[in-house]
Chain A
Amino acid sequence: MSKKPSATIEQKPNASSTSHGKAPINAALTQAQKIELFSQMVRIRRFEERSHRAYTGKNAAGGANIGGFLHLYNGQEAIAVGCCSLMGKHDHVITAYRDHGHAIAVGMDTKALMAELYGKVTGCSKGKGGSMHFFSPERNYWGGHGIVGGQIPLGVGLAYGVKYKGHKGSAMAFMGDGAVNQGAVHEAYNLAALWNLPCIFVIENNGYSMGTSQARSSAGELAKRAEAYGMAWGVCEGHDVYEVRATMDKFLKIAREECKPAVVEIRTYRYRGHSVADPDNTYRTKTEIEDYRRTKDPIQVFQTALIAEGVLTAESAEKIDEAARAEAEAAADFADASPYPTPEDIQKDVYWESDNPDQRTSQGRLFFN
């Protein structure tokens, strides 16, 4: 039977397991690199909190600063940061609509991200994609996708591309615990296993798909489904960035060296509602959220570990936090001051050919109004 991870959270003190800190991939980290991991997690948290305020507040014109959906990553920071910190030149990332954390972890500019949320032309997708559709191909970040499970075959395609071009690399295809039940995911698993493609399917298991717990949506164990396709699989805890890195490093090496896919389930928790518009109280208790925050908050856990290692002090951690708040505020100011796209922009970026008319080879009308 599948377990309901959120209901079985152990009450552990705030300490990162030192055994994972000693894993070679983590032992090799310099102090500066450790601080960088920590500050990335803090920057994600502060970015999300600032965007939440912008979503619920009003702009000068009395409207909302951010429209549509806003799926926040609070609580899951160690996953994006841990995984993306392992990326080399030919490692690629793709994820679903809960995509802000990965975007920051691959190094995207928070100003452009916030401007995208505000629907501004200075946004990373020129205001066309919104919260669910962040992209940065130059950082090997392929989005940001709104259809549950739809990004997973694309991830296999990235792995195929890496292999086809003869690169030593991989694709990490992220999805939620609800997405594992989409047919496209299973077709993608089979292709990756059958064709030996270097794709790591990362299930960020936060216990719920919207208001549905894992136990109510999925038969069997999530990662173990890999066995049906002859794929390797693993499970790890997502509140400990060291553990995430140690686990993912193992599978990424196999992917890069042997062109083998794997499924990795990373257990985590989301603090906020499914999206900002969805209230929490119908499907989980306040205590459940508070228990996780108290015992497994990924930022707290890492901060405690780094202080114990002598890498951070309470004061230096506070400075990092202040800088992250200031950065998020500056991003909001930038977004606020930026212009919106114009109605003329609506029909730009539709076709490569209409954006590059001097190189057009097809004939006839492309647009119909």
Chain B
Amino acid sequence: MSQLTYREAVRHALAEELTRDPNVVVMGEEVGQFQGAYKVTQGLLEKFGPKRVADTPISEAGFIGMGIGASMLGVRPVMELMFWSFYSVAFDQILNNAANVRYMSGGQINCPIVIRGPANGGTNVGATHSHTPENILAAHPGVKVVVPSTPYDAKGLLKSAIRDNDPVFFLENTVLYGEKGEVPDEEYLIPLGKADVKREGKDLTIVTYGRPVIQSLVAAELLAKEHDISVEVVDLRTIRPLDIDTVLASVRKTHRVLVVEEQKPFCGVGAQLTYMIQAEAFDDLDAPIGRLCTIDAPAIYSPPVEVEQLPNPQRILKAALALLD
């Protein structure tokens, strides 16, 4: 085991897959000479050369579309969006082409592309740079969506994503890039679509993913210490495919659920989850399902106020206590 940052874990996954499969290429703005806007791709250009690691102009529709096209021929592009927020510039390529081409060709074509980059608030970069589009992406059959919360998960899931034969959208987090965690030295893969119980408990299940997993673990610790409440934290890890079975098993154990997501509430991932939980485990519930989201407005810039707009341990704690009343 080694202690790696989330950033290093992603980088190691990229390096290992570049080494393993000559069809893998890494492209995006500033990924090469500049070593990545967030230094995720540091050293990759040096190690693998410009044929495998390429800097693109600021043309998201163009280069993302190019990656999708190349994937149809069996190239396996791992495209970096400097921020997932810029996906909107390439929306047509992502949704009409990557998501639909297999279906429209009657299954003749597949797109083994990965698009990765950070998607989060919390760094005061304002409304245009703080989008969390996992719900919007996952609303399109044909695509897979992964949101890892730890270095271990990030590495194992990214390697699986690169080997996956469908388009996989991999949403990282700039706030987590510096976070450290244990990562095995030997190779491992984590299958897409497998949730992970990050903390076991018996009174309440928090279902979450991405950075709110870390915040929920902090809240769970406070709830245990200060309120003698035992919280189970289920990390979805993958939004689509969705491991609803792990969620339901936890609900059947604790009988109370709080969904926490760094998303606006309307048609968010939590909306789909709460529907499925009540449909399949209604009789197991002792309380209405709770939900904690980002406050429903574009991302505010003001640093101290943005903290209050997003999920945070205190907001999670309050929402949990309200459910247990």
Partner-B contacts on A (CB < 8 A): 63-64, 67-69, 116, 119-121, 125, 127-130, 132-133, 145-150, 178-179, 181-184, 209-212, 216-218, 282-283, 340-343, 345-347, 350, 367-369
Chain B residue with Cβ nearest A351: B297
**Please, which residues of chain B bring their CB within 8 A of the CB of A283?**
33-34
Q: Decide if A211 touches B34 in the complex (CB within 8 Å).
A: yes
**Please, which residues of chain B bring their CB within 8 A of the CB of A149?**
58, 89
Q: How far is the CB of B297 from chain A (nearest CB, A)?
A: 5
Query: Max chain A CB contacts within 10 Å: which of B30, B62, B302?
Result: B302
Q: Decide if A369 touches B128 in the complex (CB within 8 Å).
A: no
- Name A368's contact: one of B58, B126, B296 (CB within 8 Å): B296
Q: Decide if B300 touches A127 in the complex (CB within 8 Å).
A: yes
Answer whether A127 and B302 are a contact pair too, CB < 8 Å, given A210-B37, A212-B33, A347-B295: yes
Q: Decide if A132 touches B264 in the complex (CB within 8 Å).
A: no
**Please, which residues of chain B bring their CB within 8 A of the CB of A148?**
58, 86
Answer whether A340 and B304 are a contact pair too, CB < 8 Å, given A146-B128, A211-B34, A347-B295: yes
Q: Is there a chain A Cβ closer than 8 Å to B309's Cβ?
A: yes
**Please, which residues of chain A bring their CB within 8 A of the CB of B309?**
343, 346
Q: Decide if B126 touches A129 in the complex (CB within 8 Å).
A: yes
Given contacts A120-B302, A283-B33, 13 further A-B contacts (CB under 8 A): A67-B301, A67-B303, A67-B306, A68-B123, A68-B129, A128-B126, A129-B127, A133-B127, A178-B57, A346-B300, A347-B295, A368-B265, A368-B293
Answer whether A210 and B29 are a contact pair too, CB < 8 Å, given A182-B59, A216-B55, A367-B296: yes
Complex Cα–Cα for A150 and B62 (A): 15
Q: Is there a chain A Cβ closer than 8 Å to B317's Cβ?
A: no
Q: How far is the CB of A129 from chain B (nearest CB, A)?
A: 6
Interface size of B in residues (CB-CB distance below 8 Å): 41
Query: What are 10 sample pairs from A and B whose C-beta atoms fall under 8 A apart?
Result: A127-B302, A181-B58, A182-B60, A211-B30, A217-B58, A218-B57, A283-B34, A347-B295, A369-B265, A369-B296
Which residues of chain B from 267 to 325 have a CB within 8 Å of any chain A CB? Answer: 293, 295-298, 300-306, 308-309
Q: Decide if A182 touches B89 in the complex (CB within 8 Å).
A: yes
Q: How far is the CB of A272 from chain B (nearest CB, A)?
A: 16
Complex Cα–Cα for A120 and B62 (A): 38
Complex Cα–Cα for A350 and B298 (A): 8
**Please, which residues of chain A bring their CB within 8 A of the CB of B29?**
210, 212
Answer whether A282 and B301 are a contact pair too, CB < 8 Å, given A182-B58, A184-B89: no
Chain B residue with Cβ nearest A146: B128
Q: How far is the CB of B243 from chain A (nearest CB, A)?
A: 26
Complex Cα–Cα for A182 and B58 (A): 6
Answer whether A211 and B59 are a contact pair too, CB < 8 Å, given A69-B125, A147-B89: no
Q: Decide if B126 touches A132 in the complex (CB within 8 Å).
A: yes
Complex Cα–Cα for A68 and B297 (A): 18
Q: How far is the CB of B308 from chain A (nearest CB, A)?
A: 4
Q: Is there a chain A Cβ closer than 8 Å to B61's Cβ?
A: yes
Q: How far is the CB of B197 from chain A (nearest CB, A)?
A: 27
Q: Is there a chain A Cβ closer than 8 Å to B35's Cβ?
A: yes
Query: Max chain A CB contacts within 10 Å: which of B124, B301, B305?
Result: B301
**Please, which residues of chain B bring their CB within 8 A of the CB of A128?**
126-127, 298, 300-302
**Please, which residues of chain A bring their CB within 8 A of the CB of B58?**
148-149, 178-179, 181-182, 209, 217
Q: Decide if A183 touches B62 in the complex (CB within 8 Å).
A: yes
Q: Decide if A133 touches B55 in the complex (CB within 8 Å).
A: no
Chain A residue with Cβ nearest B292: A369
Q: How far is the CB of A60 from chain B (nearest CB, A)?
A: 13
Q: How far is the CB of A132 from chain B (nearest CB, A)?
A: 6
Complex Cα–Cα for A342 and B306 (A): 10
**Please, which residues of chain A bring their CB within 8 A of the CB of B123?**
67-68
Answer whether A133 and B301 are a contact pair too, CB < 8 Å, given A146-B128, A282-B35, A343-B309: yes
A-contact bits for B129-141, CB 8 A (1 contact / 0 none): 1000000000000
Q: How far is the CB of A343 from chain B (nearest CB, A)?
A: 4
Query: Max chain B CB contacts within 10 Å: which of A130, A282, A345?
Result: A130
Complex Cα–Cα for A27 and B309 (A): 54
Complex Cα–Cα for A368 and B291 (A): 11
Complex Cα–Cα for A261 and B59 (A): 23
Q: Decide if B308 touches A64 in the complex (CB within 8 Å).
A: no
Complex Cα–Cα for A340 and B301 (A): 11
Q: Decide if B126 touches A68 in the complex (CB within 8 Å).
A: yes
| Interface pairs A-B: 3 shortest CB-CB | A67-B124, A130-B301, A119-B302
